[in-house]
């Protein structure tokens, strides 16, 4: 079995594949203080919930934007899975041509999403990933990664608002009953949710005007459904896009 890690600034998504089937997936908090032994305990307990055995894992793939966790995850792979992990970084096979000025600057998570998106849906594509940052990536019909945009994520913006405005409370990030908030909580929810809907629509529409093709728009990430359900500019929501991309990259590089 293959264990895949998608390490973000806020959360770490973990998945286990048996051949091409995703048989377990979980999301935990990214914590740079955890040791490899602590990760082993957590993964063992999570696998147990799905009746999976830790000892059956014999390959590991890691995509990370948090360098501080890498040593412990590499230690986990060596000590408990008896393998060297495949790390998504410059030099590995992806099947894509990265048309960035400096391809090494493209985040591993963006590359993984692009690989999965192009494999599953073909091109051209715009992939929107709602995480700590909201990223927009464009892939053309040839499988070339053309670039994109990076904006603050929904939770980052919400946390910044609360931390800088003393009288404003922290709120649940859900759609309010109306855009016309009748109290402080619903007013904040309206501003955040519909503000980000407007941002997503604005960036996607500007990208489409600049491109010479009509892309399909795929949304993924932990907060995708909160925004994607409020706009008609997103064609598909794919929660497991990154998991699938990590497995595909493993298949491309297993030799």
Interval 15-72: pLDDT, tens: 999 988 999 999 999 999 999 999 999 999 999 999 999 889 999 999 999 999 999 9
SS3 content of the chain, % helix, strand, coil (to 5): 40, 25, 35
For the segment 95-113, the average pLDDT, to the nearest whole number, is: 91
Asked if residue 106 lies in contact with residue 119, where contact means CB atoms within 8 angstroms, the answer is no
Beta strands in 140-221 (DSSP E): 144-152, 216-220
Q: What distance in Å separates the CA atoms of residue 18 and residue 20, rounded to the nearest whole number?
A: 6
Average pLDDT of every residue of the chain: 92
Task: Report helix, strand or coil for 254.
Answer: coil
For the segment 114-140, the average pLDDT, to the nearest whole number, is: 94
Say what the pLDDT of residue 24 is: 94
Q: What distance in Å separates the CA atoms of residue 169 and residue 157, rounded to the nearest whole number?
A: 13
137: Cβ contacts below 8 Å, ≥ 6 apart: 110, 113, 114, 125, 126, 127, 129, 145, 147, 148
Beta strands 21-29 and 97-98 are unpaired
pLDDT digits (tens, 9 = 90+) for 179-233: 999 999 999 999 999 999 999 999 999 999 999 888 999 999 888 888 888 899 9
Taking CA atoms, 154 is separated from 3, 133, 140, in Å, by 28, 8, 27
Compute the C-alpha angle 83/88/90, nearest 5°: 120
Say what the pLDDT of residue 155 is: 87
Say what the pLDDT of residue 176 is: 86
Task: Report helix, strand or coil for 218.
Answer: strand
Is the pLDDT at 165 greater than 90, yes or no? Answer: no
Q: What distance in Å separates the CA atoms of residue 36 and residue 32, rounded to the nearest whole number?
A: 11
> Burial code of 216-241, b = ≥16 C-beta within 10 A, e = fewer?
bbbbbbbbbebbbebbebbebbbeeb
Same fold? 2-87, 97-245: yes
Q: Which two tokens stand for residue 64?
A: 């990370």
Say what the pLDDT of residue 255 is: 65
Catalytic site residue from 6, 109, 129, 238: 109
Is the pLDDT at 168 greater than 90, yes or no? Answer: no
Say what the pLDDT of residue 90 is: 83
Q: Which two tokens stand for residue 159?
A: 């946390």
Percent above pLDDT 90 for the chain: 71
Homologous superfamily (CATH) of 2-87 is ATPase, nucleotide binding domain (3.30.420.40)
Ranges of each domain in the chain: 2-87, 97-245
CATH of domain 97-245: 3.30.420.40
Would you call 109 a catalytic residue per the annotation? yes
DSSP category for residue 120: H
pLDDT tier at 174, thresholds 50, 70, 90: confident
Say what the pLDDT of residue 212 is: 83
């Amino acid at each position: 079995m293959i264990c895949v890690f998608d390490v973000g600034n806020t959360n770490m998504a973990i998945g286990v594949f048996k051949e091409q089937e995703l048989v377990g997936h979980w999301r935990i908090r990214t914590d740079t203080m955890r040791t490899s032994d602590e990760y082993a305990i957590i993964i063992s307990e999570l696998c147990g919930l799905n009746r999976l055995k830790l000892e059956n894992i014999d390959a590991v793939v890691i995509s990370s934007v948090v360098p501080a966790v890498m040593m412990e995850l590499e230690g986990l792979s060596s000590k408990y899975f008896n393998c060297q992990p495949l790390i998504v970084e410059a030099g590995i096979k992806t099947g894509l041509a990265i048309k960035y000025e400096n391809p090494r600057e493209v985040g591993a998570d963006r590359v993984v999403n692009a690989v999965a998106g192009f494999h599953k849906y073909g091109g051209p594509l715009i992939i929107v990933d709602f995480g700590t940052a909201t990223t927009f990536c464009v892939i053309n019909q040839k499988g070339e990664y053309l670039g994109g945009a990076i904006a603050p994520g929904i939770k980052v913006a919400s946390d910044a608002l609360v931390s800088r405005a003393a009288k404003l409370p922290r709120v649940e990030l859900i759609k309010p009953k109306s855009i016309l908030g009748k109290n402080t909580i619903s007013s904040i929810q309206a501003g955040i949710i519909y503000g980000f809907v407007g941002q997503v629509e604005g960036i996607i529409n500007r990208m489409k005007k600049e491109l010479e093709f009509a892309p399909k728009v795929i949304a993924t990430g932990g907060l995708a459904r909160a925004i994607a359900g409020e706009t008609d500019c997103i064609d598909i929501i794919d929660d497991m896009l990154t998991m699938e991309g990590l497995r595909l990259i493993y298949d491309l590089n297993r030799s």
